Amino acid sequence: MDAIDVIRVKRDGGTLTPGQIDWAVDAYTRGAIAEEQMAALAMAILLNGMTRPEVARWTDAMIRSGERMDWSALDRPTTDKHSTGGVGDKITLPLAPVVAACGAAVPQLSGRGLGHTGGTLDKLESIPGWRATLSTEEMLGVLAEAGAVVCAAGGGLAPADRKLYALRDVTGTVESIPLIASSIMSKKIAEGTGALVLDVKVGSGAFMKTVPDARELAETMVAIGTDHGVRTVALLTAMDRPLGDAVGNAVEVAESVEVLAGGGPSDVVELTVTLAREMLAAAGVSGKDPADALRDGTAMDVWRRMISAQGGDPSAPLPAAAETHQVLAPSSGVLTRLDAYGVGVAAWRLGAGRARKEDPVSSGAGVVCHAKPGDRVTAGQPLLTLHADDEARFARALESLDGAFEVSEGGTADRHPLVIERIA
């Protein structure tokens, strides 16, 4: 085949054949298609879209570019969750132990943060000794011991996606819903899980800012999962405000442990239990309710086993930033808005996030919120506490918070419900 012919089909609004898709993905992975040619094809896909069969075949070709994991040796069904990312989204940390405590196995491959959105691996690496990189054999060992594992994806998993993602990032084609959906789902399906729940975030702190865009992405991913024999369901959830009270790395781990101990912010608890019930139902596991696993300590037991099995010390003190700075309420009234994006950028500038994939992060940096939209506050009351290793970072963080919150006498908070919609 010829790359130019494939580009022309999609450029002119046509439908790629399965053979053209298979050849294009394989040839690009091998280096037989030039970067500029794949960039042109990606732009044509962005502008003209893909049919459901095209997306399914594209995803399948990316899966076949590498290995596919197999958990059939386990004595329980597998189920997983993927979040499209947000601010304060530490749900994986309590969720995996809760689901494992209720009888399913959770092989969770996670990533690192970039920009204003946090990364699960960055958060867990604030625990002394914890390791993100495991072999497949080590993952099986942790699953057998604890029922859940959270780790980095190996280099052999959907290498075509890794190469294409880097190209999309520098060619203005990240926003293509078919390419976003196939990128996410190729890795999740290659991971080998039997059931998948998608947490598609909506709002200022999310990649998808509107409900219609988030719904389109969710429907595309559910269709891909279904077409590949993976029981898949999606929830659209709010990301117009931070999730929970903590935004950062160690501060989010501490909040997750509070949830596992039976406390923690109500929105984190609600979303953890809701997603856990969906994961268990998708895996066909019934019996113990996730809320009970939080109350009776069994989820905490799984957490301790999981962290220990990956070299971490669940009892060790978490890192703390050297400097703090409080942001005070400018007046008395109702906190009507706390913008997730502004808080996320502040945490990033404090050192909790990175601008490039190779940048280091500070474990102790972040933001702790002391009020949520809808809460009544008084003038001079702390709204946020900023944490950083270097006080010079506070000025830039405060710039990102300018206009990110509003206090109004007699005002009301305009916000999405936590769970907006369910798509199956």
Active-site residue 161, yes or no? yes
Q: Which of 123, 187, 337, 387 is catalytic?
A: 187
- DSSP at 153: P
Q: Which of 10, 81, 123, 168 is catalytic?
A: 168
Q: Which of 183, 186, 256, 362 is catalytic?
A: 183
Rounded Cα distance between 57 and 21, Å, is: 7
Could you tell me the two tokens for 419? 């769970």
Nearest CA to 147 out of 72, 97, 192 is that of 97
Could you tell me the two tokens for 308? 């220990």
Active-site residue 187, yes or no? yes
Name the residue with tokens 């819903």: 177
Active-site residue 82, yes or no? yes
**Cα angle value 335/336/342 (rounded, 5°):** 90
The answer to whether 24 and 54 are in contact (CB under 8 A) is no
Rounded Cα distance between 352 and 360, Å, is: 9
Strands (E), 132-291: 148-152, 195-202, 231-238, 246-248
Q: Which of 80, 122, 161, 199 is catalytic?
A: 161
Nearest CA to 391 out of 298, 322, 330, 327 is that of 322
3-class DSSP state of 172: coil
- DSSP at 398: H
- In this structure, how many other beta carbons lie within 10 angstroms of the beta carbon of residue 273? 20
- DSSP at 188: H
Active-site residue 76, yes or no? no
Q: At what angle do helices 211-227 and 177-190 cross, to 10 degrees?
A: 40
Residue 74 parent element (H or E): none
Strands (E), 203-263: 231-238, 246-248
Could you tell me the two tokens for 122? 């960055």
Please list the active-site residues: 82, 161, 168, 183, 187
